[in-house]
Amino acid sequence: MVAKGVLVERRAQLLAGTTDEADLPARGRERLGGSLRRVLNGTGVILHTNLGRAPLPSPAAAALLATAEGYVNLEVDLLEGARSSRDQHLAGVLQELTGADDALAVNNGAAALLLASAALAGPTASIVVSRGQLVEIGGGFRIPDVVAQAGAQLVEVGTTNRVRLDDYRTALDAGGTVVLRVHPSNFRAVGFVADVDIAALCSLGAPVIDDVGSGVLHPGMDLLRDEPAVAQSVQAGAAIVCFSGDKLLGGPQAGIIVGSADAIEACRHHPLYRPLRLGRLPLVALVATLALYRDPRRACREVPALAMLSVEPAVLHARAQRLVDRAGGEIVDGVARVGGGALPLVELRGPVVALDAHVPAGALHARLRDGDPPLLARITSERVVVDPRTLREDEIDFAAAAIRRALS
């Protein structure tokens, strides 16, 4: 099967005019190990959803390596020998970082919202949400459809652009039981707009679920100032705050739920917790990532997503120059993006490498993508552009070699 697939693919390449050398046995051996491969991200999109969002911090990768092949104390208290919960490993550090009573983790942000809605509202209750916050998160998936799967009825208040505290109050008086706030992670409304802040929502007395999207644990960074900080929602009194592990938090795919002791207990005892809970591998990586945030300066340095956001222009320039020295092309001004449905308006300006090519940009782009290792680039003004922002220091030489091969 594998050999046949490789041959079919090679035949298609030859018919399409590809004349480069191809080591077909090597390709076949590689495919036998599965189709997932390490790729080089030269797109400049930091949280590239199709490339697995956030690259892991080194301590998280090391923790995975140290535990993956063996057993771990996932649900065993090593001091007492008693059975414990896997969320114990998260609760302490998240209490410290957010001020919440308790915490647990599930498969992703959408699962966190589903579980929170089911546990706090369920089929007999209704969730009050602003019409301006009925967000489509990506891949055609919509927040209201996810919440509907919890069985709760959704009560929409306000209009697309404006909602007032009174709108929520009226809906709660008419029988609404829970308030949901959803951060507009991937879009911004400007102009004649009005919103209600989290503290005001919490003052209404009903339990509030705050879906903050990215999970900013360290709001000290300038670029993150406009993102809702988890600790602020906890302090305002939200019963539950949910967020993703692999957006601006910069860890593995996960959905994190922090909140009051009662609310987290309700989540933990809900039947959906079991199908949604986080597996041990992402949990190991998540705990190691969160530990970095105990020292915010260390997090900015060692969490790759944060480091890529704030990298110095001189560092980018040196990387771009090294690419040009080894693989040609010229340094031009470019714009990188945060991606992953976060900070949609932010344009990260910096030097990028526009490649020289004797073939059309589309063909070179495809050849880089099909290389070994694959290098994902972007096309700007009909030139293939490689952005050094999303390449690690130790990936630059591999990227340069990949470019040379694609050009030869």
Ligand X SMILES: *Cc1c(COP(=O)(O)O)cnc(C)c1O
Give CA 124 to chain center in angstroms: 32
Tokens of 163: 């909602």
Per-residue x/- track, 163-202, ligand X (CB under 6 A):
-------------------xx-x-----------------
Stretch of 2-10, 103-111, 290-298, 353-361 lying at the interface with ligand X (CB under 6 A): 103-111
Is residue 109 near ligand X by the rule CB under 6 A? yes
Go through 278-306 and write b for each residue having 16 or more CB atoms within 10 A of its CB, e for each that does not.
bebebbbbbbbbbbbbeebeebbebbbbb
Site for ligand X in 256-315 (CB under 6 A): none
Size of interface with ligand X, in residues (CB under 6 A): 14
Residue 227 near residue 256 (C-beta atoms within 8 A): no
Residue (211 or 395) nearer to ligand X, CB: 211
Site for ligand X in 352-381 (CB under 6 A): none
Q: How far is the CB of 323 from ligand X (least distance, A)?
A: 32
Select the residue interacting with ligand X from 42, 176, 213, 351 (CB under 6 A). 213
Rounded to whole angstroms, the Cα distance separating 245 from 214 reads 8
Q: How far is the CB of 202 from ligand X (least distance, A)?
A: 18
Rounded to whole angstroms, the Cα distance separating 155 from 332 reads 50
Q: Which is nearest to 261 in space by CA: 91, 147, 113, 125?
A: 91
Per-residue x/- track, 317-356, ligand X (CB under 6 A):
------------------------x---------------
Q: Which is nearest to 316 in space by CA: 44, 41, 47?
A: 44
Select the residue interacting with ligand X from 41, 98, 108, 233 (CB under 6 A). 108
Q: Which is nearest to 248 in space by CA: 276, 281, 220?
A: 220
Residue (142 or 225) nearer to ligand X, CB: 142
Tokens of 228: 């809702």
Give strand pairing partners of 178.
Answer: 127
Q: How far is the CB of 211 from ligand X (least distance, A)?
A: 5
Residue (53 or 319) nearer to ligand X, CB: 53
Residue (212 or 403) nearer to ligand X, CB: 212
Give strand pairing partners of 130.
Answer: 157
Residue ranges in contact with ligand X by CB under 6 A? 108-110, 113, 135, 137, 182-183, 185, 211, 213, 244, 255, 341
